[in-house]
Amino acid sequence: MNRRRFFHCAGSVAALAAAAGCIGSDGLGGDPDDADDETDDGIDDDRQVTPDLPEIEDPPDAVYVPTHREAMRMLEPIEAGEYTLAPMLSYPHPFWLVDGRETERVDPDGGPAVHLMFSLWDDETGIVLPVDAGAQIRVEQNGQQVGSPRTPWPMISQEMGFHFGDNVPLDGDGTYTVEVTLPPIGVRKTGALEDRFTETETATFEFTYDEDFRQEVIGGIDYLDEEHWGERGAIEPMEHGHGAHGDDEHGDHHGDGDDDHGDHDDHHGDGDDDHGDHDDHHGDGDDDHGDHDDHSDHGHVPYSSLPPAEDYSGTLLGEPETGDATLVISLLEGDTRLTDGTEPYLLVSPRTPYNRVPLADMALSATIDRDGEELATFDLEQTLDDEYDLHYGAETGLDDAELEPGDTVTITVESPPQVSRHRGYETAFLEMPAVEVEIPEEVSE
């Protein structure tokens, strides 16, 4: 299903020198016609709008370490009603749409464009809002609309976590105004979020697209040590505020790709240590970046990190993995504010390994069995809560029956997260077999 509209420079470090040769006069390679189209748009022909990124052949069917950290320009966060929105801009790059259980690769077309992203959080709780309500963006230059309005994709990336983004074509160099419209959030909301996010809000920001910008974001790409490429693992969430790596030492990587890889990893302080602990992530994924849990720090752009398993109240039934996602499964007994009735609430919180990014737009259902006999089966509803954040939940629906130790709870992934993926997430969370957990002897109240 991978449709490639342009030739890609297949990659390994050794291929990078050759890769330089695959950059056409328009910086993309493979489509000399484009160069002609672009001659009168005020951008000189040698400009490069897209870096020629190496490809990892045969990545694992799991979260994996990409070849680089993306560089981006962070704009000032903007307040819009109850929300704050942090716009980020990078070079246009491939990403993957999800089509059922398959992915569809989207490649930039080589014209002037940015990868436009924003993350959106609730001012009050600091929670990054990982749900698709159909935000819209309209881009203007000198009062003229550029292209049609668009609804950016909900996306996940290792660096930015959950955000909205798209490759947005531009009319060439210049200053652009972007208007973002945020419609009310329609999914089930509970706790302090229950009556929130009911108004449409708008936010406007400006950015300049020019050679400086391109050099900053393309030159700022931080290649990781090749030995880690494609390894199971993930790069750490970006340090917001230090997102744009303007360092010049990266600017020449196309020319001498071979040398600039040996010495990169620790330039930014976070290059190396986000690799040391990859192999045991599944075991201790919880404490490797405790500082990202601090949602309420307003000076900072929060990262969409779910609480670690032990922070969920109720009885933790397990943290099984499926499709490389972790499903934190908890049973909230009795009188929880998450239900109307008296039945226990089954809460399932799927997240990426390592960075604990919430996995939105899934469909999950649960089945409860006792001694091989089915007691109940029910759908879980995607829910946004101020304490538990994004999760899928429902009352257990056992009517008068009580759960007993030894009963099994099977969580079936009817459809995997349909959110789009940045590199390193596109092969994971697709095939997600059902997982089973058991009701333990002691159920905590």
Q: Footprint of another protein on this chain (CB under 8 A)? A: 1, 3, 5, 97-100, 104, 106, 109, 131-134, 136, 145-151, 153-154, 166, 169, 181, 183-188, 200, 360-363, 365, 379, 381-382, 414-416, 418-419
> Alpha carbon 212 to chain centroid distance?
27
Say how far apart CA 66 and CA 341 lie, in whole Å. 46
Shortest spacing between CB 438 and another protein, in angstroms: 25
CB of 201 or CB of 226, closer to another protein: 201
CB of 111 or CB of 424, closer to another protein: 111
CB of 204 or CB of 342, closer to another protein: 204
**CA R_g for the chain:** 23
Say how far apart CA 2 and CA 332 lie, in whole Å. 42
Shortest spacing between CB 165 and another protein, in angstroms: 12
Shortest spacing between CB 100 and another protein, in angstroms: 5
Say how far apart CA 331 and CA 351 lie, in whole Å. 17
Shortest spacing between CB 229 and another protein, in angstroms: 26
Say how far apart CA 47 and CA 40 lie, in whole Å. 13
CB of 109 or CB of 387, closer to another protein: 109
CB of 146 or CB of 328, closer to another protein: 146
Q: What is the 8-class DSSP label of residue 183?
A: P
Q: Under DSSP, is residue 118 helix (H, G, I), strand (E, B) or coil?
A: strand
CB of 33 or CB of 404, closer to another protein: 33
Q: Give DSSP secondary structure letters for 327-360.
A: EEEEEE-SS-TT-SSSS-EEEEEEE-TTT--B--
CB of 23 or CB of 384, closer to another protein: 384
Shortest spacing between CB 173 and another protein, in angstroms: 17
Task: State both tokens at 20.
Answer: 């330089």
Task: State both tokens at 225.
Answer: 């040590």
Residue recorded with tokens 């490069």: 48
Strand pairing category for 373-385 and 188-190 = parallel
CB of 102 or CB of 212, closer to another protein: 102
Q: What are phi and psi of 146, to 5 degrees?
A: -105, 110
Q: What are phi and psi of 284, to 5 degrees?
A: -130, 35
Q: Under DSSP, is residue 259 helix (H, G, I), strand (E, B) or coil?
A: helix
Say how far apart CA 193 and CA 418 lie, in whole Å. 24
Shortest spacing between CB 50 and another protein, in angstroms: 15
Shortest spacing between CB 77 and another protein, in angstroms: 23
Say how far apart CA 59 and CA 445 lie, in whole Å. 44
Shortest spacing between CB 417 and another protein, in angstroms: 9
CB of 21 or CB of 184, closer to another protein: 184
Cβ neighbours of 34 (radius 10 Å):
18
Task: State both tokens at 195.
Answer: 């009556």
Largest interatomic CA distance in the chain: 74
CB of 195 or CB of 310, closer to another protein: 195
Shortest spacing between CB 299 and another protein, in angstroms: 30
CB 135 within 8 A of CB 181: yes
Residue recorded with tokens 């040996």: 262
Shortest spacing between CB 420 and another protein, in angstroms: 9
Shortest spacing between CB 276 and another protein, in angstroms: 36
Rounded to 5°, angle at Cα 168 from 165 and 172: 145
CB of 65 or CB of 364, closer to another protein: 364
